[in-house]
Structure 1
Amino acid sequence: MKKIAIIFSHAPYGKTLGQEGLNLALSMSCYTENIGIFFIGDGVFQILKYQQPNFILSKSYFISFKIFIANNINNFYLCYDSLLQRGLYKNVDYVLKLNICSFIKIRKKIKKFDFILNF
């Protein structure tokens, strides 16, 4: 079975990329469990636990990331370098239990996947 990497590299609101990536990952999980989810760059904001999108008149979808666990997707990686660049390295809660890795380690992991999709 082919391995699929889904990369979230954009901020969660203002564009629909995050929601589209989430929907695609959930759809693909019906066909394969070989899915890796990566949060890099501004994508680290996707997984923050205490988001309040209602203040900018947006709908909340970040809680839906928990559905991955029910669909047997358990490979979640968060870029430590991206956290540092955005000041998110202390006392931050996330929606999921994540593997926090350096950017170099994440690049090595992504290279092991057959398909790479960026949102």
Structure 2
Amino acid sequence: MKRLSVIFNKAPYGSQAGRELLDIALMAAAFDMEISAIFIEDGIRQLLNNQQPDILHMKSHSPTFKAMELYGIETVLIDRDDLLKQNIAQEQLLEVAKITSGDVIKGHIAGSDFVFML
């Protein structure tokens, strides 16, 4: 089975990168691949609870992250150091991800057959 890592590294609003990567991950799940969602840098903000994009006249795609497990995306990782740099507490995030070290994430990416990042 091929492994795909989708790396979210951009804030949720201001570009469509987060939504597009989420769509890629969900579509790839239909092709019997092992898919991992990895959140680093500003991408961690994709998982913040209580987002209010309607203020910007945008739709929220954040709730769709809760459906990843239903699509078979069971590996969801957040870089611990980036979480600290963003000054975000774990309690502020959707409960879909495992917080881990950058070295574990690098190893996970290195073991992937395909990597997507926008």
Measured in 2, the distance between the counterparts of 1:49 and 1:93 equals 6
Change (3 A) 1:69 1:43: same
Number of matched pairs = 118
Give how far 1:116 is off.
Answer: 0.6
Measured in 2, the distance between the counterparts of 1:15 and 1:57 equals 13
Measured in 2, the distance between the counterparts of 1:64 and 1:91 equals 19
Change (3 A) 1:18 1:91: closer
Measured in 1, the distance between the counterparts of 2:4 and 2:37 equals 9
Q: Please list every run of at least 4 consecutive aligned residues from structure 1 whose deviation after the TM superposition is greater than 3 angstroms.
A: none
Q: Point out where structure 2 has 5 or more consecutive residues left out of the alignment.
A: none
- Higher mean alpha-carbon deviation, 92-101 vs 5-14, is at 92-101
The aligned residue for residue 105 of structure 1 is 104
Amino acid at match of 2:115: I
Larger proportion of helix: 2
Tell me the TM-score normalised to structure 1 length. 0.92
Q: What is the CA deviation profile of residues 3-45 of structure 1, one whole-angstrom value per residue up to 9, with x for unaligned ones?
A: 0000000011010000100111111101124001100010000
Residue 79 of structure 1 contacts residue 100 of structure 1 at CA under 8 Å; is this kept in 2?
yes
The aligned residue for residue 94 of structure 1 is 93
Q: What is the CA deviation profile of residues 34-85 of structure 1, one whole-angstrom value per residue up to 9, with x for unaligned ones?
A: 0011000100000112111112222111101112111111100001111111
Measured in 1, the distance between the counterparts of 2:42 and 2:6 equals 14
The aligned residue for residue 9 of structure 2 is 9
Q: Point out where structure 1 has 5 or more consecutive residues left out of the alignment.
A: none
Residue 12 of structure 2 contacts residue 45 of structure 2 at CA under 8 Å; is this kept in 1?
yes
Tell me the TM-score normalised to structure 2 length. 0.93
Identity %, equivalent residues: 31
Taking only aligned residues, the RMSD between alpha carbons, in angstroms, comes to 1.3
Measured in 2, the distance between the counterparts of 1:51 and 1:71 equals 23
1:42 aligns with 2:50: no
Residue 53 of structure 2 contacts residue 60 of structure 2 at CA under 8 Å; is this kept in 1?
yes
Measured in 1, the distance between the counterparts of 2:24 and 2:90 equals 30
